[in-house]
Amino acid sequence: MPGLNEMISQNPMYAQIAGLPDQIRSAVDKGVMDIRETGRAAICGMGTCAIAGRIVSEYMDNCGSRPVPVLKGIDMPAWVDSDTTVIVISYSGRTVETLQSYRNAVQKGAQVVCITSGGDLGEMCGQDGGVLIPLPGGFVSRGALGYMVGSILAVLKQAGFIRSTDDLTSILPMLEEHIRSLQGDEDNDAVRIARNIGTKAPVIYSYFNMLSASLSWKSQINENSKVLAFCGTLPEFNHNELVGWTSDLKIGESFYPIILMDDGASSLLTYMAETPMDMIRKKGIPVEEYHVTGVNLLEKTLKAIVTGGFVSLYLDVLNADRRSAEEAKPKKDAKPKRESKPKAAKTKTEGEKKPRRSRLSK
């Protein structure tokens, strides 16, 4: 029987997840042209495109001199104008919300940069004379994450928001080494976490500065493993969800909490994460802590995201094995239904009075 790694390698997503460093390298090396410097910038996208935007937005909050938010709606904020670079991302080029965001950004007079493999977005951008950064075809959106992240940072460099993309390219060898560790023996972190999840719905938590990682885990488990998953952030967790985890004694039967721990976080944040997890453990609910390390936030976030990708692939294989085992079990013969005796028809006995008819009946 083939090993788990050989089995997941047959999934088309395997090469796309493992190829994240090469995708980033390709996008950064290609660079962008015809982009002027602006005072503000924002990113629009849905799903994986929004996650790519969040990775960069979190990095800018951590290391940049100016914020680059991910816009959550289709309307442009009041501050978007001709001194704003709006980066619009849709892998397919057909995402309805993103297409409307593009129209609204153009209407506001912003410098609009489109990152897409084509579709309506590519066509509109070409017709309007906008800046188009083409993505290679043949991927699903979540499999082109590296191309998107590399392209966004290349745009921000040209628009004057970062001096270089070295913070990203310098971590690629460490990211490649991390990927190899998830492809090796069947005792690696991703296999272990997938086995621990089992048939439960995982709930992934991270610090707010790594929300993109927990969102990516949720998305990849949803789509690659076909399993329901949820995510949240710490320490916000302590103000609401903790009550749910510690009040319902049966919640551990259906849900499995996973914490993405940043080993470089402050002692206060670490305390705020570990204390509630200890409270959950005291209720008999196992908690998975996955610790990530790195020289900067980008390395830690991308390592966590790649691990989540491999967890989703291993979980898909393990669930397929479980389904096969269930189907192979001999089914118990159904008990024959007892035949019910026909009810004897009522006969009118002698002297029985005919029921009076109601005045309301017709």
Distance of alpha carbon 362 from alpha carbon 116, whole angstroms? 71
- What pLDDT sits at residue 359? 41
Q: What's the pLDDT tens digit per position in 188-217?
A: 999 999 999 999 999 999 999 999 999 999
Which position has the higher pLDDT, 324 or 277?
A: 277
User: Across the chain, what does the average pLDDT equal?
Assistant: 90
Residues 149, 168 contacting (CB under 8 angstroms): yes
- What pLDDT sits at residue 341? 56
Q: What is the 3-state secondary structure (H, E, C) of the chain?
A: CCCHHHHHCCCHHHHHHHCHHHHHHHHHHHCCCCCCCCCEEEEECCCHHHHHHHHHHHHHHHHCCCCCCEECCCCCCCCCCCCEEEEEEECCCCCHHHHHHHHHHHHCCCEEEEEECCHHHHHHHHHCCCEEEECCCCCCHHHHHHHHHHHHHHHHHHCCCCCCCHHHHCCHHHHHHHHHHHHCCCCCHHHHHHHHHCCCEEEEEEEHHHHHHHHHHHHHHHHHCCCCCEEEEECHHHHCHHHHHHHCCCHHHCEEEEEEEECCCCHHHHHHHHHHHHHHHCCCCCCEEEEECCCCHHHHHHHHHHHHHHHHHHHHHHHHHHHHHHHHCCCCCCCCCCCCCCCCCCCCCCCCCCCCCCCCCC
Band of residue 230 on the pLDDT scale cut at 50, 70, 90: very high
Band of residue 343 on the pLDDT scale cut at 50, 70, 90: low
In the chain, the domains with their CATH numbers are 4-170 (3.40.50.10490), 185-325 (3.40.50.10490)
Distance of alpha carbon 351 from alpha carbon 208, whole angstroms? 85
pLDDT at 356 over 50: no
Of 94-98, 246-250, 293-297, the least confident:
246-250
Nearest to 272 by CA among 307, 229, 236: 236
Q: Provide the percentage of residues in the chain whose pLDDT is more than 70.
A: 88
- For the entire predicted model, the pTM comes to 0.88
Kindly report the number of other CB atoms within 10 A of residue 78's CB atom: 7
Q: Provide the percentage of residues in the chain whose pLDDT is more than 90.
A: 81
Distance of alpha carbon 297 from alpha carbon 301, whole angstroms? 6
Cα dihedral sign, 41-45-47-48: negative
- What pLDDT sits at residue 348? 47
Mean pLDDT calculated for residue range 39-44: 98
Q: What's the pLDDT tens digit per position in 136-168?
A: 999 999 999 999 999 999 999 999 999 999 999
